[in-house]
A = this chain, B = another copy of it.
Amino acid sequence: MPEKKLTLQLDFHSGLPIYTQIVNQVQSQLANEILKPGDQLPTVRALAEELRINFNTVARAYRILDEARIISTQQGRGTFITEIPPPEVSERLRNESLSELTLRFINEALRLGFSEREISQMVRDKIQQESNRGETSRRESRQVKK
C-alpha cells in the first residue's frame, strides 16, 4: 500500500514557516478525515521533492506532529497517522474555538489574494450547499462509526 498523495498547498509568502504550514494542514486534513488513522504519509524525501523544499524541513514538521502523537514516525519504515489519536489531540481539536478557526481561514484566504467579498460569498454558497445536503440524506453521516 503506497503512501497517500497528501496534497499540500504551501504559501511561501505567508510569513508562516513552511514546517508550520505542513503541521497545520496535516492536522486539518486529519480533522476533516481526508487523512485517516493508519494512513501512510509520504517519506520525508518524497514530500520534500514534491514541495521543492529541503527534506529537513519536512522532517521537522513530522517531528512536531510525532511529538503531538498525531503521527508515528518509524525509522526505516515510514510515517503513519496514529492509529488511535490520543484523547488530548481530538480534545484539543474540538476545543479549538470557532473564532480561531475562522480567523485562520480568513487570513489564509486573504493571503491567497481573495477579497473579503469573495470569501463571504463562498462561505454563503458552501453553507447553503451543506444545508441542502443535510436535509436530504447526509444528516447522520458525519459521526464516525465502528
A64 to chain B, nearest CB (A): 15
Q: Which residue of B lies closest to A77 (CB)?
A: B12
**Band of interface residues on A:** 35 or more
A69 to chain B, nearest CB (A): 8
Q: Is A3 an interface residue (CB 8 A)?
A: no
Q: Considering the complex, which residues of chain A in the window 62-81 have a beta carbon less than 8 Å from any beta carbon of chain B?
A: 66, 69, 72-74, 77
Report the Cα distance A106→B98, complex, angstroms: 10
Q: Is A50 an interface residue (CB 8 A)?
A: no
Question: Are B74 and A102 in contact, CB atoms less than 8 angstroms apart?
Answer: no
Question: Are A96 and B111 in contact, CB atoms less than 8 angstroms apart?
Answer: no
Q: Is A31 an interface residue (CB 8 A)?
A: yes
A134 to chain B, nearest CB (A): 8
7 interchain pairs, CB-CB under 8 A: A12-B77, A31-B111, A32-B111, A98-B114, A98-B122, A105-B105, A120-B124
A128 to chain B, nearest CB (A): 9
Q: Is A49 an interface residue (CB 8 A)?
A: no
Q: Is A13 an interface residue (CB 8 A)?
A: yes
